[in-house]
Amino acid sequence: MKKLYFKSIDDNLCQYLEDCLNEAKADGETETVTLIEAIPERVSGNRWCTLCGAVVEQSECSKKACSSYDKPLKGNACANKGQLYTYGNEVTFDIKTGKQI
């Protein structure tokens, strides 16, 4: 699985490194960009809904409670159930090479 990063401590959505580097280039950055590692986290009773882009209570993530509930081909969890992430360490990358400094 590819690592994900937050652009800042104020962000609640994480992205792939390539996307962060492309955004930094588009913003006119030419040397380095500092990002925050996204660390997978389990929070009892909460889920990340990829459809609405927000944390929801587990009780809200059911066929009865959600009109957008989408059962996958395998298993019982909603197809829109995503992973929660918390903030890790700050890391700096060279924008041109994409390598960590």
Tokens, residue 40:
């997978």
pLDDT in tens, 21-75: 999 999 999 899 999 999 999 888 888 888 888 888 888 888 888 888 887 767 7
- How many Cβ atoms are within 10 Å of 67's Cβ, its own excluded? 6
Q: Which of 80, 70, 72, 73 is nearest to 47 (CA)?
A: 80
pLDDT of res. 1: 67
Q: State yes or no: pLDDT of 91 exceeds 70.
A: yes
User: Tokens representing 4?
Assistant: 């994900």
CA distance 57 to 48: 9
pTM of the model: 0.79
Cα 75 from Cα 55, distance rounded (Å): 21
Give me 63's structure tokens: 């066929």
Compute the average pLDDT of residues 5-22.
94
Show me where the domains of the chain are located: 4-94
Decide if 82 contacts 48 (C-beta within 8 A): yes
